[in-house]
Chain A
Amino acid sequence: MSKRFKSILTPIIAVLLGIIVGTIIMLVSGYNPVAAFTALWNGAFGEVYYLGEVVRQFTPYILAGLAVAFAFRVGLFNIGVEGQFLVGWLAAVWVGVAFDLPRVIHLPLAILAAIVAGALWAFIPGLLKARFRVHEVIVTIMMNYVALHVSNYLIRNVITNHGDNSGPIHKSATLRSPWLESITDYSRLHWGILLAIISCFIMWFLLERTTRGFELRSVGFNQHAAQYAGMNVNKNIILSMVISGAFAGLAGAMEGLGTFEYAAVKGGFSGVGFDGIAVALLGGNTALGVFFSAILFGVLKVGALNMPLEAGVPNELVDIIIALIVFFVASSYFIRVFLDRISKKEVK
């Protein structure tokens, strides 16, 4: 068994194990797993509307997953994707409501604002890490709260006059299109999916096909070796956080310009940034892997909404299954040992 094949097989086995254990939990607690999974399937693929919603759901997941994965490849844990996502969301909507421009200028400008906002938000922990060796996990977690409350403050006091919703963005800044709505029966599907796919490609190209990418990966493998080889480690750390934040900010634009078309005061985190960590983990921190694991998460999340109605199964069960999948991916050491044993037997 080649190493490559094994690294593909590990997450698949983790997903299967998660589903199997989820099935056992359902059986033990008296629910019908067949009905539950049928409902899950119907809720994700049963109608073209749900298909559109699945795509809508996994678009930000792809970008959030890329953000986590990119930083991880350079050896950094960007737990602050959620915060960068929130400032990106706010920046995009702000541009969306504040200006009235032709669409060819307005939409790119709003997207750019989100990217810049996310990148700036991630620049701070990157700088602190590079200059003062402050651990990025601590800083990014704290920056999440700062992002949440600052954006709430801005919505309440700057964008609106003590309102709690920015109001809808101008039509010239929206990612949605009547055509996409019409082919998916009024789902909230939007053009952001194209940007997400392009971003996957950019990440792959940047990391695997450029000198800069080689440097970034080197820093991830071994900082000291990279420094010894004459690379500027600090610069690469900052750069990786900025790019990671740019992906996260773009994910925010997906929600701000596509799904919601507004920004509202939030009581808590949206969870997209944290799901991005799981997506990146399951996808093995590669562009293609993130793409597929984001799809899986999107299917599970949207399909789960249908489970209580059609099968009487609480949708918390899907959270349990997702948690189990992440658990099995995280403990992929077991699976790898298991695969090693099998492949050894084959050799005999």
Chain B
Amino acid sequence: MKKRKIGMALSLVLAAGTLLGACGKSDNTTKEPAKSGEKKTDFSVAMVTDVGGVDDKSFNQSAWEGLQKFGKDNGMTKGKGGYDYLQSKSDADYSTNLNTLARQNFDLVYGIGFLMQAAVEEIAKQQKDSKFAIIDAEVKQPNVASVLFKEQEAAFLAGVAAALQTKSNHIGFIGGMEIPVIERFESGFLAGVKAAKPEVKVDVQYSGAFDKAELGQNIASKMYSSGADVIFHAAGGTGNGLFKEATDRKAKDPSKEIWAIGVDRDQNDMGPDVVLTSALKRVDVAVQDLSKKAMDGKFPGGEVALYGLSEDGVGVAPINAKADKKADIEAAIKDWVEKIKSGAVKVPGTRDELKNFSAK
């Protein structure tokens, strides 16, 4: 009798294994090696994600998409000697991962995100022969290139779109952690709203994390319930909860006017009916750009590259065709883009600058 029980337990475990295995198979598409093009190169490049992971639908994913595109364009294959990524599961993994990639002789190693600043600085001092790049932070080492974005400009345009679309004159902003990058998003967004429609009320909340979708959904739910009809998030994976909440509400009551605004990449795929637009931060463009420079031997070590509207490093995604104010928004955005590019309007990047901001 007992023997039968053990046999049963074992077969259960096996069955569970089969099921789990089947689950794991479904999203294998990104892992397939790239078709090798005609151009061959011995340049190799890799990146380390922060704790959000490579499929966070936002920041890290955008970087990886850029790296994949760069690799395919140059006939590289995924893996050692080509292009690859490593995921970090805790803060302690940043150093180990950066070090691993440098030791595997990747020519250029990206640290994706502000959180990796200290780790990149430390490893760069140790591995003086390797080249590193960091996104969203500044590391002053001769073998590190820093990439910063003018997120406030993208967020400003998103703010204009949100202000023109809202019917309840109530908008929400969900931030990730309170770090300078997200402050730029917040300040830009608030400035944009103020510039387009000063009477609109904006509810600002921080979730404190970039990888907690359930928390994002929670905050979004409260904001929608309290009357907000457009919510913008700058919270990485946490923001996925916003799209879930918006899609759910829309499904329950299709006549309801509910919008969400994405961030980093065009997040229209997260909810085609509810995503108004996205504040683009073209990490992919920057990654490709910098990789290209490094491949051509023009690695800008020790320098800070700043990507803004003028450099096509930030922008907004196409406005959702289902939005009734689409034409107005597009016209207004076009107008503001010119003003920002020409320097007539300087978008605030901090809360202090926002206080003194006035749109003429």
Whether A associates with B in a native complex is yes
Chain A contact residues, CB within 8 Å of chain B? 21, 24-25, 27-30, 43, 47, 49, 53, 57, 149, 152, 156, 164-165, 168, 186, 188, 255, 259-260, 262, 264-268, 270-271, 302, 305-306, 308-310, 312, 314-315, 320, 334, 337-338, 341
Which of A24, A43, A57, A165 contacts B17, CB < 8 Å?
A: A24
B266 to chain A, nearest CB (A): 25
Interface-centre pick from B24, B25, B95, B177 (highest chain A CB count, 10 A): B24
B84, CB-defined interface residue at 8 Å: yes
A186 touches B209 (CB 8 A): no
State which residues 143-185 of B face A: CB under 8 Å. Answer: 176-179
Chain B residues within an 8 Å CB radius of A341: 2
A264 to chain B, nearest CB (A): 7
Tell me, rounded to whole Å, the shortest Cβ–Cβ distance linking A167 to chain B: 9
Chain B interface (Cβ < 8 Å from any Cβ of A): 2, 6, 9, 13-14, 17-18, 20-22, 24-25, 31, 51, 79-80, 84-87, 89-93, 95-97, 99-101, 103-104, 115, 118, 126-127, 176-179, 208-212
Query: In the complex, what distance in Å separates the CA atom of A338 from the CA atom of B10?
Result: 13
Instruction: Point out the residue from A28, A188, A262 that lies within 8 Å of B21, measured CB to CB.
Output: A28
In the assembled complex, the CB of A347 is this many whole angstroms from the nearest CB of chain B, namely 17
Q: B91 touching A270 by the CB < 8 A rule?
A: yes
User: Can you list the 6 inter-chain pairs with the closest CB atoms, starting with the nearest?
Assistant: A28-B21, A267-B209, A29-B21, A186-B126, A29-B24, A25-B17
Q: Contact at A57–B2, with CB atoms within 8 Å?
A: no
Contacts of A21 in B (CB 8 A): 13, 17
Q: A260: which B residues are within 8 A, CB to CB?
A: 91-92, 118
> Separation in Å of the A147 CB from the closest CB of chain B?
14
How far is it, in angstroms, between the C-alpha of A308 and the C-alpha of B93 when the chains are bound?
A: 14
Q: Which one, B20, B80, B84, B100, contacts A305 given CB within 8 A?
A: B100
Interface contact A152-B90, CB-CB below 8 Å: no
Q: How far is the CB of B206 from chain A (nearest CB, A)?
A: 10
Count chain B CB atoms within 10 A of each CB in A156, A186, A302, A309 and give the residue with the most.
A309
Q: Which residues of A contact B14 (CB under 8 A)?
A: 24
Check A188 against B95 for contact (C-beta < 8 Å). yes
Do B97 and A305 touch across chains, with their CB atoms under 8 A apart? yes
- With a cutoff of 8 Å between Cβ atoms, the chain B residues found around residue A57 in the complex are 92
Decide: A309 and B2 in contact? CB cutoff 8 A.
no
* Given A24-B14, A260-B92, A308-B86, 14 further pairs, Cβ under 8 A: A21-B13, A25-B24, A29-B20, A30-B21, A43-B100, A260-B118, A264-B118, A265-B178, A267-B210, A302-B96, A306-B100, A315-B89, A337-B6, A341-B2
Partner of B20, one of A25, A43, A267, A312: A25
Whether B25 and A186, one on each chain, are in contact in the complex, defined by CB atoms closer than 8 angstroms, is no
Most B CB within 10 A of own CB, among A43, A262, A315? A315
- The answer to whether B17 and A28 touch across the interface, beta carbons within 8 angstroms, is yes
CB-CB under 8 A from B210, the residues of chain A are: 267
With contact pairs A47-B103, A270-B90, A312-B31 given, residues A265 and B96 touching in the complex (Cβ less than 8 Å): no
| A30 to B89 CA separation, bound complex (whole angstroms) | 23
Q: How far is the CA of A47 from the CA of B45 in the complex (A)?
A: 22
Query: In the bound complex, do residue B25 and residue A337 qualify as a contact, i.e. CB atoms below 8 Å apart?
Result: no
Question: Do A309 and B89 contact each other (CB < 8 Å), given the known contacts A265-B177, A267-B208?
Answer: no
From known contacts A156-B178, A268-B209, infer whether A309 and B100 are also in contact, taking CB-CB under 8 Å: yes
Check A308–B103 contact: CB distance below 8 A: no
Q: In the complex, which residues of chain A have a beta carbon less than 8 angstroms from the beta carbon of B85? A: 308
Closest to B97 in A: A305
| Distance, CA A57 to CA B92, complexed state (A) | 8
Contact B84 A152 (CB under 8 A): no
User: By the criterion CB–CB under 8 Å, are A267 and B96 in contact?
Assistant: no
Cα(A262)–Cα(B121), bound, Å: 14
Q: Which one of B91, B92, B101 has the greatest number of beta carbons of chain A within 10 Å? A: B92
Query: Do A186 and B99 touch across chains, with their CB atoms under 8 A apart?
Result: yes
In the assembled complex, how far is the CB of residue B166 from the closest CB belonging to chain A, in whole angstroms?
Answer: 29
Chain B residues, Cβ within 8 Å of A259: 92
Q: List 5 A-B contacts (CB under 8 A).
A: A57-B92, A149-B208, A188-B95, A267-B208, A270-B90
CB-nearest residue of chain A to B52 = A267
Do A320 and B20 have beta carbons less than 8 Å apart?
Answer: yes
